[in-house]
């Protein structure tokens, strides 16, 4: 019901997933990623535990292929599942169950997997792979989004459009980028708009606590706090005069 890409950036170590579907809130149930561990997309008739347990296995040190074997063999509904994994070293593994609705399948490349089911055709995942490889000089979130856009342009989900999402892990335990469009007539275009806003918020991201420093850019945080308070007081004064 979905087309997705999972990938690792060899330059930065970022790990991420982008996904789109003619199903509600695909960005909330397909992506699973953990900093320094790996990234997983679990879709078709989705079993979230394939992502949850898969990350646990990767964290134990299993490579992508072995982690995939373990989660698939434990799921008697495996014929209805579709899963892709990229581990911390960029190794890939993917599985498409025999009963996934066609077109269903995947393309694997260096450090990435494009996969989908109920697609208009194989050209969807091929277009995603080409777009991802052609944008090698960009940061991972941009590359993941371009892959989604290419997949939609090539036909996408043959039932239509509804949701999209992107999730990227980088240096911290919380996501570097986590954006979702849960229900929209043109979800990938809306995701692009949100990503444009995300790019403008670079200063806010730099102010976020880090594991080794809870107060980076502290003086800038204090200045922002003072500006916000002054702005609120000004708005309150204007409202009182009305």
**Chain segment 139-161, per-residue pLDDT in tens:** 999 999 999 999 999 999 999 99
What confidence category does residue 70 fall into, taking pLDDT thresholds of 50, 70 and 90? Answer: very high
Of the candidates 198, 205, 200, 235, which has an alpha carbon nearest to the alpha carbon of residue 221?
205
3-state secondary structure 39-102: EEEEEECCCHHHHHHHHHHHHCCCCHHHHHHHHHHCCCCHHHEEEEEEECCCCEEEEECCCCCC
Say if residue 242's pLDDT is above 90.
no
Contact 40, 84 (CB under 8 A): yes
Q: What mean pLDDT comes out for the span 34-54?
A: 98
Condensed to tens digits (0 to 9), the pLDDT of residues 108-140 reads 999 999 999 999 999 999 999 999 999 999 999
List CB contacts of 166: < 8 A, sequence separation 6 or more: 16, 17, 18, 19, 27, 31, 141, 144, 145, 148, 177, 178, 179, 191, 195
List CB contacts of 9: < 8 A, sequence separation 6 or more: 15, 16, 111, 139, 140, 143
**Can you tell me the distance from the alpha carbon of 226 to that of 233, in angstroms, rounded to the nearest whole number?**
11
Task: Supply the mean pLDDT for the chain.
Answer: 96
Q: Which domains does the chain have, with CATH numbers?
A: 2-200 (3.60.20.10), 206-241 (no CATH)
Condensed to tens digits (0 to 9), the pLDDT of residues 82-108 reads 999 999 999 999 999 999 999 999 999
**Can you tell me the distance from the alpha carbon of 185 to that of 99, in angstroms, rounded to the nearest whole number?**
28
pLDDT for the residue 30: 98
pLDDT for the residue 64: 98
Question: What pTM does this model have?
Answer: 0.93
pLDDT for the residue 125: 98
**Can you tell me the distance from the alpha carbon of 132 to that of 135, in angstroms, rounded to the nearest whole number?**
5
Condensed to tens digits (0 to 9), the pLDDT of residues 172-190 reads 999 999 999 999 999 999 9
CA separation, residue 176 to residues 38, 137, 172 (Å):
14, 19, 7
pLDDT for the residue 108: 98
Say if residue 203's pLDDT is above 90.
no
What confidence category does residue 1 fall into, taking pLDDT thresholds of 50, 70 and 90? Answer: confident
């Amino acid at each position: 019901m979905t087309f997705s890409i999972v990938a690792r950036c060899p330059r930065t170590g970022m790990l991420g997933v982008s996904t789109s579907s003619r199903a509600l809130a695909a960005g909330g149930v397909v992506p699973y990623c953990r900093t320094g561990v790996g990234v997983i997309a679990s879709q078709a008739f989705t079993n979230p535990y394939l992502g949850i347990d898969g990350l646990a296995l990767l964290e134990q040190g299993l490579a992508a292929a072995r982690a995939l074997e373990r989660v698939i063999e434990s799921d008697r509904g495996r014929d209805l599942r579709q899963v892709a994994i990229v581990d911390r070293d960029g190794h890939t593994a993917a599985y498409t169950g025999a009963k996934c609705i066609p077109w269903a399948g995947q393309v694997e490349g260096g450090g990435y997997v494009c996969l989908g089911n109920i697609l208009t055709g194989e050209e969807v995942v091929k277009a995603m792979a080409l777009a991802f490889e052609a944008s090698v000089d960009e940061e991972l979130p941009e590359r993941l989004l371009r892959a989604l856009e290419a997949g939609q342009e090539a036909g996408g989900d043959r039932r239509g459009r509804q949701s999209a999402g992107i999730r990227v892990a980088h240096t911290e335990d919380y996501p570097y980028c986590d954006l979702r469009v849960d229900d929209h007539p043109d979800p990938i275009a809306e995701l692009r708009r949100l990503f444009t806003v995300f790019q403008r918020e670079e200063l806010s991201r730099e102010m976020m606590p880090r594991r080794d420093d809870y107060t980076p850019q502290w003086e800038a945080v204090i200045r922002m706090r003072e500006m916000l308070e002054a702005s609120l007081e000004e708005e309150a004064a204007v409202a009182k005069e009305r």
